[in-house]
Structure 1
């Protein structure tokens, strides 16, 4: 690619106003061009196949499947794809998931436009970018044990307002097994009670509101 060629960008964002805002600020840069847009994970994969952008700005929270799901699908076909995740969440679990899936950068939506432009140019040259605050959030929970799938099922049902007996019935488990899962959830999240566990899980990106 010649240096005079603009960086070809795809914007994936389900909120039309925010997507339009990104398009406008990107258009202000002579070395950047929006070549594709998408509002869902499925559309993102289809548009990537069609346009093969240099950089994809991917909203983490999309309707249906997440932005990380789209990232995984895209990189399965295009291993060299460079994707910058955009999010309002500083949850370490979401961040870790996106980075492990191959995201080149993880950027908060509150990031100033000039900083975003700098990150886009940096990622385009092959670099990665993790903001200091995001890196600190990851380090804060480094080494902590992840919840198992069984514990996640129990946690989701707790979030829905179910008591242990109801959870046991819905999952076809004994109440003792559910009690064991709940204790593990509390220990791993370092929570004082069920409400505290839900609050921590939402803040860390383990659960969505």
Structure 2
């Protein structure tokens, strides 16, 4: 598709064909937008970006081959000026946190109506960071929380699978006491006191589901 320099050129990335078609039809209602490409997986985002160099990417979180967070990271590693809006059904604080940490410029839920989507695209195109009030609240709340280390997430994943301390220690290469120490730190960071509570809180935040 030939790009029109007078319009904001968009790349849509979503693994659902009907979502891509729906967004494309919706955005055609606004003359200032032009959808120049669409991707069904995270790897295709990079290939199509190289080909079309869109102004803004609308990126879903859950996609095959490479998820939205991974695609944002790889895209910005190659194109530091790329502008990405996460457009997803997931509004958990950990998803929002990881999206902005990866370098996304905006975050919007798919329930948003066209005027809000258009506002987000224009803001990000201008080089601004954009998020609705409910997402801004999640970002602020998540910023108050201590970050789990990669090893602590690994321990938590094994806890969620039902492994006991000794089994976790054997798998990860430290002592049983080391496993207990990791769990104590995890409990402290999540604000819980037991394994079941830790799993529930991690699932609520999206920590386990994002890994």
Q: Same fold (TM over 0.5)?
A: yes
Q: Is the counterpart of residue 70 in structure 1 residue 74 in structure 2?
A: no
How many residues are aligned here?
207
Tell me how far 1:96 sits from its aligned partner: 2.3
- CA distance in 2 between partners of 1:122 and 1:182 (Å): 42
1:160-184 deviation line (CA, Å, top 9, x unaligned): 2222222122223211111111111
Which residue does 1:84 correspond to in 2?
Answer: 85
1:86-126 deviation line (CA, Å, top 9, x unaligned): 12222333222222332111111221222112211222222
Q: Secondary structure at the match of 1:89?
A: coil
1:89-104 equivalences in 2 (<5 Å): 89-104=90-105
Which residue does 1:188 correspond to in 2?
Answer: 189
Q: Which moved more, 1:60-69 or 1:146-155?
A: 60-69
Q: Which moved more, 1:90-99 or 1:65-74?
A: 90-99
Tell me, yes or no, if the aligned pair for 1:12 and 1:37 is still in contact at 8 Å. Answer: yes
Which residue does 2:148 correspond to in 1?
Answer: 147
Q: What are structure 1's unaligned runs of at least 5 residues?
A: none
Q: What are structure 2's unaligned runs of at least 5 residues?
A: none
Tell me how far 1:79 sits from its aligned partner: 1.7
1:133-181 deviation line (CA, Å, top 9, x unaligned): 1111122233322111211110111122222222122223211111111
Q: Secondary structure at the match of 2:111?
A: coil
Tell me, yes or no, if the aligned pair for 2:97 and 2:142 is still in contact at 8 Å. Answer: no
Q: Secondary structure at the match of 2:143?
A: coil
1:119-158 equivalences in 2 (<5 Å): 119-158=120-159
Which residue does 1:107 correspond to in 2?
Answer: 108
Tell me, yes or no, if the aligned pair for 2:158 and 2:168 is still in contact at 8 Å. Answer: yes
Tell me how far 1:4 sits from its aligned partner: 7.5
TM-score (norm 2): 0.90
Q: Is the counterpart of residue 36 in structure 1 residue 37 in structure 2?
A: yes
Structure 1 residue runs of 4 or more that deviate by more than 4 Å after TM superposition: none
- CA distance in 2 between partners of 1:61 and 1:145 (Å): 25
